[in-house]
Each structure stands twice: as C-alpha cells, then as structure tokens.
Amino acid sequence: MNRKSNSVSDVLFSGATGSFALVLVLLVAGIGVILCYQSLPTIREFGLNFWRTQMWDPVLGEFGALPFIWGTLYSSILALLIATPISIGVAIFISELCPRSLKHPLVFLTELLAAIPSIVYGLWGIFVLIPAVRMLEGWFPEWLRAFPLFTGPRVGVGMLSAVLVLAVMVIPFTSSVAREVLKAVPMAQRETAYALGATRWEVTKAVLHYARVGIVGAVMLGLGRAFGETMAVTMVIGSNPKMSWSLFESQHTMAAVIANEFTEAANDLHISALVEIGLVLFILTFIVNAASRLLIWGMTYQRKQTVPVAVKSVEATS
C-alpha cells in the first residue's frame, strides 16, 4: 500500500513540475506568436527589405530596421569586449586572491551594481559620463580623427557613451556568475596542482580551464543583458537612425527606438514596424542563446572526451 501511494505521489510530483516547465515553453512560444501576428502589416508591406534598408520615416511610411540592428549589435559587442576581461578579472580576484576581510564587501558592491536600475545608470551617463567623453573627444588630435572610427561631432552623446554605459552594466552580471562558477570548482583541483609544485598563476589557469564552460555562459548572459538594455542607452546614444563605424556619432538601438516611439506611433503601420523590431530583437536573442548553448555543449563534450584519453595514457605509462 505504501509503495503504491509513493508511486502515485511520484507521478503527481513529476507531472506538476513538468507542467511548470511546459508553462515556460508556452510562454516563449506565445511571445513569438504574438510578435509575428502584430508584425504582419509590415511583413506584408516591406518583406525582407525591413531588415536590410536604412530608411526610417514614419511620416512617409518608410520603415527599415537596419540602423537599429546595427546599433544594437555594434554597441553590445564593443561593450562585451570591454566588460569581459574586467568581469573575469574581478571574479578571479574575489574567488582566488582576495583577502577574507575584503571578499564580502566586494561581493556586496558587485551585487549592488547589478541591482541598480537602468534609469540611474542613464542619469549617471548624462551628468558624469557624457561630459567625460566630450572632454576625451576634445583631446583627440586631428590626424586621428581622419579615421572612420573617430569622426563626428565632439558632443559626448553617441556610440562611445552607450558602449561605456553598457559595459558598466554588464560587468556585475558577468562577474557574479563567473565568480559562482569559479567557486564551484572542486578544491581538490587546486590542492592537486599545489601538490605538484604549481605556482598560484598556474593554479589559476587550471581553475579557469576547468570552469571555462560556465565562464562562457556568464559572458553570454552579459551579452543578452546588453542586447535588451533600453533606458540607459536611450539617454546617452543620441537616438539617430544612422549606420556608422564612428564611436562619436549619434546612433540608435532596437530597444531604444521601441521605448522612444511606441507611445507616440502615428498609425497602425508605425506600431507594426516597432513590433517587428521587437520580433527582430527576439530572434537575435534566440540565435545568440542557441549559439552559446551549442558552444557550451561542444566544450562539455570535448572535456568528456579528454577524460578517457587521459585515463588511458596514465594506464599505458603505468
């Protein structure tokens, strides 16, 4: 009787937890379906030209999302290039090198940075970062401004400010996850390396190699954070639908244009265009997450394959 009741409770428990997981699948699918349905007017009107044209004029009814796609990818990738080494360095210091008296304050400050609302980062960008960037742009010599990367007005509002704000916002997320990943590395890995005469630098490299899969996941989490950031970027990027390599030019992102124009959309086609930008952002985020998952699976599979080879080599030498 007890065995039968236990089996029934196990079935009910697995069914309940499975239904919770199914809710997540239905929620993601529902978001995608609603975005597709609301985007049908612009899909019929412009087709793939919506993805590859640069004209954005609600008055004339011309909509092309390429400048916003460019601005989102450009700012996110540059922010990730700045934030990733800093985040990993912070995680390594806290988990491997930090004195015990400093560890808890640094962890608290890192988590505090992650909890600050994006509007506060935007205000910080307006009152602190933009004047600093404007001063930096004024120091650039004229011969250096001949390069496409540094052309444009010296006003401080532009891609460089948006990249720096995004990098500051990405650092606490990436470093927190990377710190937890490094913390989860078994202590036996470190003790074995020290027993073999390894230095602290060599032990740290071994720990990083062991935790590389989780660190890649932390970096991809930061990239997803950069993709979806809205208010802070909107306040410092300049909101100009223009594609440019210049860090000083005002540009735009997908999340920012939705936040700026959705409440003031002139007609149904304008609303549909903004919803389709949301659909494009949804698809790009899905592609990035899928690519990161495939990368993590590949690295995990490679690590599993190296273990039997190492065991066989040890057995052969013995």
- What pLDDT, on a 0 to 100 scale, did the predictor assign at position 285? 85
Query: Average of pLDDT values for 138-155?
Result: 82
**Is residue 165 a contact partner of residue 232, using CB atoms and an 8 Å limit?**
yes
Separation between Cα atoms, residue 249 and residue 158, nearest integer Å: 5
* Class of residue 249 by CB neighbours under 10 A (exposed 0-12, middle 13-18, buried 19+): buried
- What pLDDT, on a 0 to 100 scale, did the predictor assign at position 259? 86
- In single-letter form, the type of residue at position 9 comes to S
pLDDT(305) > 60: no
Residues 6+ apart with CB under 8 A from 35: 275, 276, 278, 279, 282
Average pLDDT over the chain reads 84
- Highest-confidence range of 59-68, 72-81, 103-112, 300-309, by mean pLDDT? 72-81
Helix (H, G, I), strand (E, B) or coil at 123: helix
- In single-letter form, the type of residue at position 216 comes to V
Which of 121-125, 126-130, 181-185 has the least mean pLDDT?
181-185
**Is residue 203 a contact partner of residue 194, using CB atoms and an 8 Å limit?**
yes
Query: Average of pLDDT values for 83-105?
Result: 90
Query: Average of pLDDT values for 113-135?
Result: 90
pLDDT band at 86 (very low <50, low <70, confident <90, very high): very high
- Highest-confidence range of 53-57, 145-149, 305-309, by mean pLDDT? 53-57
pLDDT band at 82 (very low <50, low <70, confident <90, very high): very high
Condensed to tens digits (0 to 9), the pLDDT of residues 32-71 reads: 999 999 999 999 988 888 888 888 888 888 888 899 999 9
pLDDT(310) > 50: no
Domains along the sequence of the chain with CATH: 67-317 (1.10.3720.10)
Separation between Cα atoms, residue 157 and residue 163, nearest integer Å: 11
- What pLDDT, on a 0 to 100 scale, did the predictor assign at position 5? 57
Condensed to tens digits (0 to 9), the pLDDT of residues 213-256 reads: 888 888 888 888 888 888 888 889 888 888 889 888 888 899 88
- What pLDDT, on a 0 to 100 scale, did the predictor assign at position 4? 57
pLDDT band at 312 (very low <50, low <70, confident <90, very high): very low
* Class of residue 169 by CB neighbours under 10 A (exposed 0-12, middle 13-18, buried 19+): buried
